[in-house]
Amino acid sequence: MLGCAVLTPLASGCSAVVEQRVEAGLAEAGLPAAMASCMAEIWADDLSVDQIREISRFADAVREDDRTLTVGSLIGHVREWNDPEALAVVTSSAARCAIA
């Protein structure tokens, strides 16, 4: 990921890699594939690498506990960070993707 931030000319390619990884992680944790794909597209553009990593750690923990990731649990987790930007992106993307 750090290489992506440094190599500006490749930024669109890095965004695609981030999007693919986010989508795979969300789907593997239990979100429906269409929801994971839609949210990943938004997050790759609107969240920082650190914010995405934190969500990834949460999704990994959910999967390791043999639980299923839900949009509600995801929003609840992000709310606990006290990061208004991340919360706004996650909640708005959930709403947009639910009606898409």
pLDDT digits (tens, 9 = 90+) for 27-68: 999 999 999 999 999 999 999 989 999 999 999 999 899 999
- Band of the pLDDT at 15, cuts 50, 70, 90? confident
Whether the predicted pLDDT of 18 surpasses 90:
no
Q: Does residue 71 contact residue 35 with C-beta atoms inside 8 Å?
A: yes
> How far apart (Å, rounded) are the C-alpha atoms in residues 94 and 88?
10
Domain boundaries of the chain, sorted by first residue: 31-100
What is the token pair recorded at 43? 């997050």
Whether the predicted pLDDT of 88 surpasses 90:
yes
Q: To 10 degrees, the CA torsion angle through 87, 90, 96, 100?
A: -170
> Residue 3: its pLDDT value, please?
43
> Residue 13: its pLDDT value, please?
55
> How far apart (Å, rounded) are the C-alpha atoms in residues 13 and 15?
5
pTM for the whole structure: 0.80
